Chain A
Amino acid sequence: MLHKKSARELEDYLLANQEYIYRLAYSYVKNPEDALDLVQESIIKAISSAELLKDPQGMKSWVYRIVVNTALDFLRKQKRTVVVDQETLNSYTESVAGVDDYSDLDLAKAIEELTPTDRTRVVLRYYEDLKIEEVAFILKENVNTTKSRLYGTLKKLRLQMEEPIDVQSLQEV
């Protein structure tokens, strides 16, 4: 049945990486209460289905997959709204006042306005530095789908910004 060793490894992983998990959850709900709820739900799911984790090497993607899908489920159940918390808002205002970085705010806003799934691809690929294959696994989609959707999203974001991001980089992945 369950491998004691891999269950133990999973626990250690969750404890050691709790901040990453929290940040990922937070990126969906933008408030600590819901983020903590998501963390809790995700971890219960992960631990109680630890026997389905086949490859300890893939533990990170597997845990992320649970977090992302728990978060997407949560958002689907909620009315879709764009939530920006006070802290993020402050940090925007600070950077606007300080470094004169308008395009950053625009991009951030544009990313917030993406659908949760489109945003997930951006977050996982660019904030979490995951490979396209890992993003595809987490979102349970085909690698080509992930690639083309991400490409489409970047194109869309570029239209909304003054300074374009280089879409080229995607094709090299």
Chain B
Amino acid sequence: MSEKNRKENNMNEKKFDELKEEYEKVAIPEELDQVVRKAIQSGKKSRKNRQWLHRVSAVAAAIVIFVGGINISPTMASVLAEVPGMKNLVQVLTFRDYQFDDGLHQANIEVPAITGLEESGLGDALNQKYLEENQALYEQFMIDVKEMEALGEGHLGVDSGYMIKTDNERLLSIGRYVVEMVGSSSTVIKYDTIDKVEQVLITLPSLFKDDQYVAVISDYIVDQMNQAMDKDPNMIYWVEREGQEEVLYFEPFRQISPEQSFFINPDYKLVISFDKYEVGPGVMGVQEFVIPTEVIADLLVSNEYIKP
């Protein structure tokens, strides 16, 4: 604690000083030390698990090549097709893993690869996209690092990876996130939803008969945001509100983009996703809104992917 702060407190914030004493008087439970030590051990374990996963990704890359080999060798493919679970197996694996750390700048980029969609070429197209985007991310990171080094100081972190939102007999929804940390952090998530059976990529417009969905979904979300804010004063969305006192510092959210980020959850419900800072301040983080099927029922092309 700085001497200057202390002095200021003594002069001006005597009241706070008394409360501060109370704050410091809180009894420390006996088990605290034990809890702390245990937590450190669990933290290390989960860190080790992640390191282990990174090592596994090398193995995963080998598997990708192996699966690629199935198409080349018909004999091998037919042999494998007889092995239960190897036929039509759509899987997501870590294909490549970029790591960089010089103490000030860290990058951890995991590139996913989808296997089992070779037939239609969709798998290759997605994998190519994933690889290219991540390579670009890594290259940009290296440029930023050079720039920051030239300027003297600063920290930079990039963490990119993927998560599987849905993986059932019909659908695969995979989300790829990029977290950039420069002082504060920003998060961007992109989703791909795939019909595993038909081997097609599902886009948001393709779910609907026409573009009315943009307005209907937007109205529903704005309504949800307003309700959430009415219920909990800690919730903040950047939407226009009646009788609003506080000035909005950002363009308020009015409509989703026709190509808004989305995925389909395991219950076959449409989920609209907003990146950090897209519809609210950073504390709100990434926001997801599950759209009840009855809201969009009349607009859907079919109930093939989105079910009541």
B29 x A43 contact (CB < 8 A):
no
By a beta-carbon cutoff of 8 Å, the part of chain B in contact with chain A is 1-2, 5-6, 8-9, 11-13, 15-16, 18-20, 22-29, 31-33, 35-40, 42-44, 46-47, 50-51, 99, 101, 103-106, 108, 155-157, 159, 181, 183-185, 232-234, 281-283
Tally of A-B Cβ pairs under 8 angstroms? 161
Given the interface contacts A36-B31, A50-B47, does A23 sit within 8 Å of B8 by beta carbon?
Answer: no
Given the interface contacts A3-B101, A36-B31, A126-B9, does A76 sit within 8 Å of B234 by beta carbon?
Answer: yes
Q: Which residues of A contact B156 (CB under 8 A)?
A: 54
A23 x B16 contact (CB < 8 A):
no
By a beta-carbon cutoff of 8 Å, the part of chain A in contact with chain B is 1-3, 6, 11, 14-15, 18-19, 21-23, 26-27, 32, 36, 39-52, 54-55, 72, 75-76, 80, 87-88, 91, 101, 103-104, 107-108, 111, 115-117, 122-123, 126-129, 131, 137, 139-141, 161, 163, 165-166, 168-169, 172
Q: Report the separation of the CA atoms of residues A140 and B182 in the bound assembly, to the nearest whole angstrom.
A: 11
User: Can you offer 21 A-B residue contacts whose CB atoms are under 8 A?
Assistant: A2-B47, A15-B36, A23-B24, A36-B29, A36-B32, A39-B36, A40-B36, A44-B46, A46-B43, A47-B40, A50-B47, A54-B155, A54-B156, A75-B234, A87-B27, A107-B19, A127-B23, A129-B5, A129-B6, A165-B12, A169-B13
Chain A residue at minimal CB-CB distance from B155: A54
Given the interface contacts A101-B18, A129-B1, does A1 sit within 8 Å of B51 by beta carbon?
Answer: yes
Q: Which residues of A contact B25 (CB under 8 A)?
A: 91
In the complex, what's the smallest C-beta–C-beta distance from A11 to chain B, in angstroms? 6
Q: Which residues of A contact B23 (CB under 8 A)?
A: 23, 27, 123, 127
Q: Which residues of A contact B24 (CB under 8 A)?
A: 23, 127
B283 x A40 contact (CB < 8 A):
no
Q: Report the separation of the CA atoms of residues A137 and B249 in the bound assembly, to the nearest whole angstrom.
A: 20
Query: Which 5 A-B residue pairs are closest in the complex by CB-CB distance?
Result: A47-B43, A43-B39, A54-B155, A169-B12, A129-B1
Q: Report the separation of the CA atoms of residues A66 and B237 in the bound assembly, to the nearest whole angstrom.
A: 23
A115 x B234 contact (CB < 8 A):
yes
Given the interface contacts A15-B37, A91-B22, does A48 sit within 8 Å of B50 by beta carbon?
Answer: yes
Q: Report the separation of the CA atoms of residues A55 and B40 in the bound assembly, to the nearest whole angstrom.
A: 20
In the complex, what's the smallest C-beta–C-beta distance from B70 to chain A, in angstroms? 33
In the complex, what's the smallest C-beta–C-beta distance from A45 to chain B, in angstroms? 7
Chain B residue at minimal CB-CB distance from A163: B15
A166 x B12 contact (CB < 8 A):
yes
Q: Which of B5, B11, B101 contacts A1 (CB 8 A)?
A: B101
Chain A residue at minimal CB-CB distance from B36: A18
B283 x A129 contact (CB < 8 A):
no
